[in-house]
C-alpha cells in the first residue's frame, strides 16, 4: 500500500546547514570571574552583546561538576544566549541537557582564538586585495586603517573611530568600530559599526556576503538580506531605527 503525503500540509522539514556561531571558550569555571570579564567586554563592544547565541566550550576545564546553570545566568544577564555546550565529562553533558542546551563532543582540532590569532601567510583565492602580510596605519580621527585580508578567526577593532580595511573580510572573521566601517573588498564575516551606540555610523563594502551586519546594536543576518544586494557594493545605515541596506552601484 502506498502512502501519499501532502507536502503542503507539512509543519516543518529538517535541513542541514552551517550557521555563524560564536564560541565562548572557558578557561575558568568561576562564574564571578566570568561576570567581571563580560562586564569589561560589554563596555568595549556593547553592540556585540545583543542576544548573540554562543556555544560554551568547556574543553579546557577539569570540572566534572561545573556550575553550568550559574554560568548561563551570567551570560544571559549580559545579553548572551547560551545554546549549547562543547566538551566536558558526562555530568556536564547531563547538566546541559537538563538546562535545555545542546551538547557537542570535544573537537579534535582546537579552534583558533578570536582575539590573538595571527594572520595566515597564504592569501585566500577569493580575496580582492590579496597580500602575504598586512600593514596598519593609525587614522587621524583615532580610527584604524588595515591593509590586507582579515582572516577567518581574526577580530579587528577600532574602539575610538572608523575602521578601514583595504582588503577583504573572510567568513568567520569579525570587524568592529566605534564609527564607520569601510571594506574595500568582499565582506563575508561579521561587521559591527557604532559599537558604543553611534546611530550615525555606517558600513560600506565593495561586495556584500556578510554573516552579520550591525549598527548601534541593530542587526541583520545573511538570511535577512535581500538576495539582490548580495555581491553588490552597499551602504548599511540606520533609518528610522531600522537597519537599511542600499546598493551603491
pLDDT tens digit sequence for 120-159: 333 444 443 443 355 665 555 678 999 999 998 888 888 8
Write out the three cell numbers for 245: 541596506
pLDDT at 17: 54
pLDDT at 240: 85
CA-CA distance, 189 to 212, in Å (whole number)? Answer: 7
Indicate left, alpha or beta for 153 from its phi (over 0: left) and psi (-120 to 50: alpha): left
pLDDT at 64: 73
- Is residue 46 within 8 A of residue 68, CB to CB? The reply is no
E strand or H helix at 208, and its extent? strand 203-208
pLDDT at 130: 41
Within the chain, which residues score under 50 in pLDDT?
Answer: 1-3, 5, 109-132
pLDDT at 48: 67
pLDDT at 246: 94
From 231, 235, 225, 228, select the one nearest 208 (Cα to Cα).
Answer: 231
Share of the chain above pLDDT 70, in %: 78
pLDDT at 139: 55
pLDDT at 202: 96
DSSP 42: H
Q: Which CATH number fits domain 135-247: 2.160.20.70, 3.40.190.10, 3.40.710.10, 2.120.10.30?
A: 2.160.20.70
Domain ranges of the chain: 22-104, 135-247
**Residue range 22-104 in CATH 3.30.70.260:** yes
pLDDT at 53: 87
Amino acid at each position: 500500500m502506498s502512502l501519499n503525503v501532502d507536502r503542503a500540509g507539512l509543519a516543518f522539514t529538517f535541513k542541514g546547514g552551517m550557521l555563524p556561531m560564536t564560541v565562548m571558550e572557558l578557561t575558568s569555571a568561576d562564574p564571578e570571574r566570568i561576570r567581571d570579564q563580560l562586564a569589561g567586554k560589554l563596555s568595549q563592544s556593547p553592540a556585540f552583546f545583543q542576544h548573540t547565541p554562543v556555544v560554551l566550550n568547556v574543553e579546557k576545564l577539569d570540572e566534572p561538576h561545573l556550575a553550568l546553570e550559574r554560568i548561563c545566568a551570567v551570560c544571559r544577564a549580559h545579553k548572551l544566549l547560551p545554546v549549547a555546550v562543547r566538551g566536558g565529562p558526562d555530568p556536564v553533558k547531563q547538566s546541559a541537557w537538563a538546562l535545555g542546551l545542546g551538547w557537542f563532543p570535544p573537537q579534535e582540532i582546537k579552534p583558533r582564538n578570536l582575539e590573538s590569532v595571527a594572520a595566515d601567510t597564504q592569501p585566500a583565492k577569493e580575496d580582492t586585495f590579496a597580500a602575504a602580510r598586512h600593514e596598519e596605519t593609525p587614522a587621524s580621527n583615532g580610527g584604524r586603517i588595515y591593509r590586507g585580508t582579515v582572516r577567518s578567526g581574526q577580530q579587528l577593532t577600532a574602539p575610538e573611530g572608523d575602521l578601514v580595511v583595504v582588503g577583504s573580510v573572510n567568513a568567520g572573521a569579525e570587524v568592529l568600530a566605534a564609527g564607520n566601517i569601510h571594506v574595500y573588498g568582499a565582506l563575508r564575516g561579521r561587521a559591527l559599526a557604532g559599537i558604543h551606540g553611534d546611530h550615525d555610523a555606517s558600513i560600506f563594502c565593495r561586495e556584500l556576503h556578510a554573516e552579520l551586519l550591525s549598527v548601534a546594536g541593530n542587526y541583520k543576518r545573511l538570511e535577512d538580506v535581500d538576495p539582490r544586494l548580495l555581491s553588490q557594493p552597499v551602504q548599511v545605515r540606520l533609518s528610522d531605527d531600522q537597519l537599511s541596506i542600499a546598493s551603491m552601484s
